[in-house]
Amino acid sequence: MFRILRCCRLGVNLIDSVIKDSSCKPLKYRQIPNFTFKIKNYTNSVTVTPSLEAENSDEPNVSEIVGDDEELAHKLRVLILEAEVFRQEGKGVPDNSSIKNEQWKYLLTLPSISARRKYLEFLYKVEKKKENRQRKKEDKRIEWEASEKPKRDREDVMNYNLGGNHFMLRIYDTTMNQMYNNRLIQAMQFGQKMVVDCGFGQNMTPRENANCAKQLMLLFAENRGSDDPFDLHYCNTVRNSSLMNGLNKFITTMYEPWFPLHLHEESYLDVFPKEQLVYLTPHCKDVLKTYSHDDIYIIGGIVDKVNNEPLSLAKAKKEGLRMAKLPLDYYLDWGSGSGKSLTINQVLSILVDVKATGDWKHALRHVPRRKLANYFEEVAPRKLFNVAQGNYPDKPKHKFNKDYKYSKDFDNLKYLSRVSNIKRYK
């Protein structure tokens, strides 16, 4: 009821403001192409005056989002009214106060109503998930405060549990970070170089740029956690681009001078010798059968969910670089309908393992099992049978479970079950 009354008041204020402005000098706005405001079967351009913004405390600050551009300011006010109409129609739309300025800017770039509605529904789901996490966290806190705390006898010298008379010192996160960063510093001095080409930002959509930024963060984290990491070089970077801004949100200290990561605005051709560079692209014909510790491999930092053109192949040919692709077809039986594309961090994990072991069978365990041939023949029917029998999988235990013991069964390590899907090299 409150939303209905609020929408009616907003409509009355809109009509009054239009009538008042019609008597005085009207605001001149240019026609905005490919942007319409549609309510059911009625389509028309709506003039929204700035007086409406001041009457709603939860409305976004238009000047902070679009600056002094009157055309974008008018378009943004129409978007605000459009979002309010979606709420009255029962669509999942978050509150205006919870939508960030960057999200409003992205909404301004969407040309159609359906695209804007889908994006607002996505933001609504993210907001509700965040609220559910906060609610569960608060419930756990209340439950913990209401529960009886275990009492520990400080005079019991035979208690060797955590918090008792334990001779092992606690290893803090800062200590582990120093150890991982020390590995990267040693790799900068003595390790093999690895290049990530970040020059495809203009060929990706905003969503693909965000996904690519997350993969670059995972690539850095997986390389950082390995025993013998690469010396990473992110080349062709643009500091204020959407890709680097998204990466900076994940790694806030990456521009600090002490951070163990090389960021180059210039090309890799200006940093390394051309004869040592090898561009890894899945579109070429040459297969990387033998790993070389003297070459410098280049991974294309691109997510091509929309644009499937061989951009990395074209760039490598234009620059006259050697090209190679991973021997996926020689070792794996791919499933029908499954794509052979891998994420950037998965490619690096494969190269880390093959550099350490020289065994492609072991390195290709990082390929997702769902892409292999016998996944739907073995795993999926078993899951459906368990669900039909009412045997649902148990929830994962808490990672700090006190009963957890390290497994000594080294034959059943993570990802090792995928080796059964690997065929011998022919």
pLDDT surpasses 70 at 252 = yes
356 Cβ partners below 8 Å, 6+ apart? 226, 227, 228
Return the bridge partners of 234, or none.
196, 263
Round to whole Å and give the CA distance between 128 and 20. 40
Alpha helices in 89-205 (DSSP H): 101-109, 113-146, 173-190
pLDDT per position as a tens digit, 46-95: 444 444 444 444 677 888 788 888 888 888 888 888 888 888 888 888 88
Closest CA to 301 of 312, 287, 292, 309: 312
Least confident of 80-84, 89-93, 305-309, 405-409: 405-409
Angle 247-133-93 from CA coordinates, rounded to 5°? 75
pLDDT per position as a tens digit, 225-235: 999 999 999 99
Q: What is the DSSP letter of 205?
A: -
DSSP characters over 210-243: HHHHHHHHHHHHHHHHSSS--EEEEES--TTSHH
Q: What is the CATH number of domain 175-421?
A: 3.40.1280.30
Q: Residues 393-403: what's their mean pLDDT?
A: 44
Tokens of 15: 């009509």
Cβ–Cβ < 8 Å for 268, 308? no
Q: What is the pLDDT of residue 24?
A: 40
Round to whole Å and give the CA distance between 165 and 321. 61
Domain parsing of the chain, residue ranges: 2-123, 175-421
3-state DSSP call for residue 193?
strand
3-state DSSP call for residue 325?
strand
Residue 337: pLDDT band (50, 70, 90) is: low
pLDDT surpasses 50 at 247 = yes
Closest CA to 201 of 252, 239, 250: 239
pLDDT surpasses 70 at 416 = no
